[in-house]
A and B are shown apart, each in its own frame.
Chain A
Amino acid sequence: MSAGTRLASDSRADEFVARHAIGDPVVGEALVADDNFSARYDLDRLAGIFSRPTHRLAGFSYVDRILVLNTAKGGVASAWMLHEMAARKRAPLAIVFNSVNPILVQGAAFAGMTMLSGFDVDITSVVPQGARVRLDPRARVLRVLGEGGG
């Protein structure tokens, strides 16, 4: 079994292994979009919602959700902002990316936030909207526990 692949002989169809992971295990509701992420560019951090009108999650609350997105966008501010959002308890529970840039990882490390990235499948296409998911960073595994309503 190699990192970054879907599990084979001992696999479950609802488990996906990441190449990179940081943070503690968490369980929560997934908020999924084939779109990218920057705390500066995309969020109203006071309201706790995606605010960029063109973002596919515009108007959705990200607070305490496990965000499942494509990649990180540019802007170094997210490294501070994840920490600031976590301090006010207005932060995502965790973030999962197909690919990530250093800023979001630095932000996760600083904020104590869980983050996974790097899958052999498009992770935004296999996690159902609203699904309950478990992230285990030590094993680098995302597991879908149950389908969502959305």
Chain B
Amino acid sequence: MNLRLVRDEERRMRLTPDEKAMLAGELGPIARIALEHQVKVGEFFGARDFVPVTQAHVMADTESLGEAGVAWLESLAGMSEGRAAVCVPTITDPRGTDFAKVGVLKQAAWMVDLEHRAIDAFVKLGVSMTNTCINYQTVQAPTRGEHVAFGDTGVVIYSNSVCGARSNYEGGPSALSAGLTGRTPRYAYHLDECRRATVRIRVDWQPRSLNDWGSLGAVIGKLAGDYWAVPVLEGMENAPGSDALKHFGAAMASFGSVALFHMVGITPEAPRLRDVGGENLPLAHRIGEAEVKALQAAYSSDAEIDVVVFSAPQLSLYELQNLAALCDGRRFTKPLLAVTSPQVKPDADRFGITGRIEAAGGHVLAGMCFYQSYAREIAEANGWKRLATNSAKLANILGGYGYSLRLASMERCVEAAQTGMLR
């Protein structure tokens, strides 16, 4: 037999009777479309079979979907034959707007219309519109060994590394497909062998602020290089909090496409270096304060700023509390936007946190993320060019949208919103 045909045959996924029925359309066209997509992806990566998932998380802001993506969602939602909705809990990443703050952002009516159409389609498909990229803090954190299909790179790296759950990066079409079929191709971070450390790094300096944690993650992400790298980190003295690891992981994923890291003695799969195979790896890098500050200095071209943004990831209740304390007694001369999840916002309102931030002239937005909200268009509409943030992830992303970025602590960013200058 031709070697190529043998190899092609080996690449075919083994399907269960249920999956064969799905692929044959016996559960309706939606399940067939979803599984066909998943088989293509699985066979690309040589997945042997599917693994059942318990949750799916769909990134689907309309700037990414565009008219074509929304029309595709509507076509799915219009199919009523067979199984017409998700079969495992399926939630959403941030939307492209906070409908209550469209005027603040100066978004166009067509953007809002597209958002409404996408939401209507998702709801018809049974998706819960949680609109959050911090579902591990606000909805339900996955547990160690739990197979999930999560979108948003920050969600995936946190779930894999901090929770010990198992997910690949699942882009919107794939995460939605997982929600519709209840499974995902078994490759990469669903497999034990892919979760072993591949690069050993020693950290000689302990970050203090969230932007330092994000910057450290960025440095490691750049060194790690790609999706298949699994850094194992030694030298962390204390267990970081959830917000620190949130910024750390989100930046590492953003700068390096990394989906899993281990911290010896801290993250669940690495109580000891040898538990993730790290003892056999040479020490590849040592990172200290100088490397972190060098990364931050790359974003310090201009002292004057037009807007301050806290977003990416959405802020936790504790981050908002800290921000409110920094806002007390100030009056901003530049817009300050703080973006949180729809689950946190009601508590922030009840506790008076929102009121304190807005009394200084800031805005608390919910259910969106700044870079997922037509960042190029709102920059033009508002005259925003020079943006200050404490999020390394946001600073990394917005360069392509034409912004000039400043990366600094929350304290310095708040001061900049008051004075117009980041010092």
Within 8 A of B (CB), among A88-124: 88, 99-103, 105-107, 109-110
CB distance from B230 to the nearest CB of A (A): 13
Q: How far is the CA of A79 from the CA of B156 in the complex (A)?
A: 15
Please tell me if the beta carbons of A110 and B37 are within 8 angstroms of each other in the complex.
yes
Q: How far is the CA of A103 from the CA of B173 in the complex (A)?
A: 10
Q: How many residues of A contact B (CB 8 A)?
A: 44
Please tell me if the beta carbons of A41 and B151 are within 8 angstroms of each other in the complex.
no
A59 at the interface (CB under 8 A from B): no
Q: How far is the CA of A74 from the CA of B212 in the complex (A)?
A: 20
Please tell me if the beta carbons of A87 and B67 are within 8 angstroms of each other in the complex.
yes
B153 at the interface (CB under 8 A from A): yes
- B397 touches which of A75, A80, A81, A107 (Cβ 8 Å): A75
User: Contacts A21-B44, A71-B226, A76-B152; is A102 near B188 (CB within 8 Å)?
Assistant: yes
1/0 contact string of B81-108 vs chain A (CB within 8 Å)? 0000000000001000000000000000
CB distance from B37 to the nearest CB of A (A): 6
User: Contacts A81-B64, A83-B68; is A101 near B226 (CB within 8 Å)?
Assistant: yes
Pick out which of these stretches binds chain B: A24-32, A49-57, A60-68, A126-134: A49-57
1/0 contact string of B379-409 vs chain A (CB within 8 Å)? 0000000000000000011011110000000
Residues of chain A contacted by B169 (CB below 8 angstroms): 74, 76, 101-103
A-B pairs with beta carbons under 8 A, tally:
142
A20 at the interface (CB under 8 A from B): yes
Please tell me if the beta carbons of A106 and B171 are within 8 angstroms of each other in the complex.
yes
Please tell me if the beta carbons of B254 and A75 are within 8 angstroms of each other in the complex.
yes
Please tell me if the beta carbons of A3 and B65 are within 8 angstroms of each other in the complex.
no
Q: How many residues of B contact A (CB 8 A)?
A: 53
Please tell me if the beta carbons of B226 and A53 are within 8 angstroms of each other in the complex.
no
A144 at the interface (CB under 8 A from B): no
Residues of chain A contacted by B78 (CB below 8 angstroms): none
Please tell me if the beta carbons of A109 and B64 are within 8 angstroms of each other in the complex.
no
Please tell me if the beta carbons of A74 and B37 are within 8 angstroms of each other in the complex.
no
Q: How far is the CA of A52 from the CA of B3 in the complex (A)?
A: 43
Residues of chain B contacted by A107 (CB below 8 angstroms): 171, 173
Please tell me if the beta carbons of A80 and B69 are within 8 angstroms of each other in the complex.
yes
Q: How far is the CA of A109 from the CA of B33 in the complex (A)?
A: 12
A84 at the interface (CB under 8 A from B): yes
Please tell me if the beta carbons of B254 and A74 are within 8 angstroms of each other in the complex.
yes
Contacts A84-B64, A102-B45 given; 11 further ones with Cβ under 8 A? A20-B46, A40-B64, A55-B400, A74-B153, A76-B172, A79-B173, A80-B173, A87-B68, A100-B227, A101-B169, A102-B169
Chain B contacts to A: CB under 8 angstroms: 3-4, 7, 37, 40-41, 44-46, 59-61, 63-69, 72, 93, 151-153, 168-174, 188, 221, 225-228, 253-259, 371-372, 376, 396-397, 399-402
Chain A contacts to B: CB under 8 angstroms: 1, 3, 20-22, 36, 38, 40-44, 51-55, 71-81, 83-84, 86-88, 99-103, 105-107, 109-110, 139
